[in-house]
Structure 1
Amino acid sequence: MGKAETALGNHSDRLNAINIFPVADGDTGTNLYVTVRAAARAVSAGGDQPAQMDVGAVLATAGQAAMEEARGNSGTLLSVFLTAAAEPLAGHTRLTSTLLAAALNRAQIRAWSALSDPVPGTMLSVMEAAAQAAAAVDAGQNGDDSNHALGLALDAAVEAALAAVIHTEDQLAALTSAHVVDAGGVGMLLILDCLRSAILGEELQSELLDGLHGYDVSDPHIHTAMPDDDGVEVMCTISLSPLNAATLRQRLDEIGESVIMSQVGSGPDSEGNYRWRVHVHVPEGEPAVEIIRSLGEPANISISELALPRDPAADAVNSSGHER
């Protein structure tokens, strides 16, 4: 997680610059960085890990922390990815190509299902491509659990993620028009390469980003030329029964967009309620908050404007997590 925190910190400005989908608010890099930072700090707080650490438990800790402090669409989907990837790894002290394939597959399925209206050409497509590539390599290894087989699966996952990032420009009209790739997809590519680097003990592949449309340092902040997006982003954590969670998703779908709901943790409380992380874009915050409060008591609720002053020379981040 430390590698990912550093990489996203170094690249947050460029990711912000090409962030135009689903809204051109220039904060994908910031949101991913803040979310990964929460995950990294949670792992670090656990102190020195034993040599035979439970890989799934460590990743679950990271995912839980990320979910609690997730920012934006990209941060929320990343936290879903981390928590889901941890599940097949629970109880294992060593990663293999088979476990990697299972973790990536579980994670991409959960991320797709968290969104009410998932869209190809985003970080979801990058997750899916990486998972399919790792699974294909593992299938050809005949159960080989060596580090060599794991390395092949990791290489394939990153290579497929890069191809998926390049393809995003052709999948979404907004990206095609602006001649850029998807910011969240690039962020996911960086995270996967950090995973590869950490596991294999190799350097990050800086050349991965060479030539990505819109990603040269000399390019302007693409999002600053896009029309302002009205409305706000509402996020919170709330305990709900499965029925009330389904009701909340339906009612938020009726008034807003980019609805993401995912469980925080794996089990219910004594009353049968599960904790959920909720994200939605709506014209006004109060109606969404009223709907949420009608079904439970939200915690960590935040309301952030989608359209903010767009001056790349201004302060990088405001108190809500959106780039200024």
Structure 2
Amino acid sequence: MTTQKLDTSVRAIAVWLARSVKSLGNHSDRLNAINIFPVADGDTGSNLYLTARAGHDAVSKLDSDDIGAFLEIAARAAMESARGNSGTLLAVFLSGLSEPLKGKERLTAPLLALGLERAKVRSWSALSEPVEGTMLSVINALALAAASTLNHLKVDLESRAALDTLLSQMTQAARLAVQGTENTLPSLVKAGVVDAGAVGMMIIIDEMCAAVRNEHADFEDYEKFHGYHVQDPHVHLEYEAAQGLEVMCTITLDALGAATLRGQLDSIGDSVIMSPVNQLDEDTYRWRVHVHVPDSDAALELIRKQGEPVNISVTDLCVHDD
């Protein structure tokens, strides 16, 4: 391909979001089938699809030349409607990615690398106990590959050739990271599958690279991942479903309130994710909160002691999504 085909405008971001929604929908069944971490509830594909769709819908009719502002609106909508661990992390990734792109009309290799680094920092800090071998491993690999590529490029870093090279390195890094998940977490090693969230993240990255290149993403090589062939069984059904409830909400807190709530939720549950949706004033943010707990009432009581939650959802973790 020639680098002159690259689309570095908001249009490419809009196409990326639209195609990500479609591809996540097409792959949701296989993603659900291998979803066994952190709980075998078979909903990773569905959660990623619904979260991405919320982000896309928010900007589907938006006219803008500002890449960062456009993506920030999509990220905020995705965060407010995020589903599960995977959907929340996707929203956090989009939010972090948007930050260095604000006010920019053209995507470049240095800007994309900055966005990926910011997305990595935001994603890892959102979880109380970040775990390797998941979506986080793919996000980390993307940021490292981008930084390394910039350090070794022999062309103008602002050129289309530089961006094209960076996109190639991103796709390779994502695949290696996904392959590595099978040998990282004990539950994935036992099942002989890759992590569902990691594959979902790779789908999103492949669609990003294809949209910027004015091409269509090719998913044929995905069937090489263990457990991902269309004829493979739904692995998550072989596991005893986790007991407990997933509680999610949005709440307005200052930094102290957010830190206090995170600590309290850590003490009664796990899979705690807290990430700012947007800033309201100097020290106050809207936060998206996610936690797995045995008792939703106890979690909501702690949350209400800090503020008034909205967009509350409580989901039974022991219900398999077939």
Partner Cα distance (2:236, 2:139) in 1: 24
Q: Is the 8 A contact 2:68 2:98 kept in 1?
A: yes
Q: Does 1:229 align with 2:233?
A: no
Work out whether residues 223 and 230 of structure 2, in 8 Å CA contact, stay in contact via their aligned partners in 1.
no
Superposition deviation, residue 149 in structure 1 = 1.0
CA distance in 1, matches of 2:57, 2:147: 30
Distance 1:293 1:27 in 2: 28
Aligned equivalent of 1:316:
none
Q: Give the superposition deviation at 1:225.
A: 0.5
In the alignment, what sits opposite 1:201?
Answer: 214
Alignment partner, residue 190 of structure 1: 203
Which residue of structure 2 lines up, in the alignment, with residue 125 of structure 1?
Answer: 137
Q: Does the 8 A contact of 1:31 with 1:72 survive in 2?
A: yes
1:242 aligned onto 2:255: yes
| Structure-2 separation of matches of 1:140 and 1:173 | 36
Q: 1: distance between equivalents of 2:312 and 2:210?
A: 35
Q: TM-score if structure 2 supplies the norm length? A: 0.93
Match of 2:316 in 1: 305
Matching of residues 227-306 of structure 1 within 5 Å: 227-265=240-278, 267-269=279-281, 272-306=283-317
**Which blocks of at least 5 consecutive residues in structure 2 are unaligned?**
1-16
Q: Within the alignment, does 1:115 sit opposite 2:120 as a pair?
A: no
Would you say 1:154 and 2:170 are equivalent positions? no
CA distance in 2, matches of 1:140, 1:94: 22
* Structure 1 spans left out of the alignment, 5+ residues: 311-322
1:101 paired residue number: 113
Deviation string, structure 1 residues 276-321 (Cα, Å, up to 9, x no partner): 000000011000000000110000011000011x4xxxxxxxxxxx
Distance 1:243 1:131 in 2: 30
Cα distance in 2 between the residues matched to 1:261 and 1:45: 29
| Cα pair distance change 1:208/1:99, threshold 3 Å | farther
The alpha-carbon deviation at position 141 of structure 1 amounts to: 2.5
Q: Decide whether the 8 Å contact of 1:232 with 1:282 is kept in 2.
A: yes
Where in structure 1 do 4 or more consecutive aligned residues deviate above 6 Å? none
Equivalences, count: 305
Which secondary structure does the structure 2 equivalent of 1:201 belong to? Answer: coil
> Which residue of structure 2 aligns with residue 26 of structure 1?
42
Q: Residue by residue, what CA displacement relative to the aligned partner does 1:87-125 show, whole Å, maximum 9, x if unpaired?
A: 001111001111111101110111001000000000000
Q: Is the 8 A contact 1:162 1:208 kept in 2?
A: no
1:66 aligned residue: 78
Q: Distance in 2 between matches of 1:110 and 1:204?
A: 27
2:225 aligned to which of 180, 191, 212: 212
Supply the distance in 2 between the matched residues of 1:61 and 1:184 (Cα, whole angstroms).
Answer: 23
- SS of the residue corresponding to residue 314 of structure 2 reads strand
2:246 and 2:72 map into 1 onto residues whose CA distance is 26
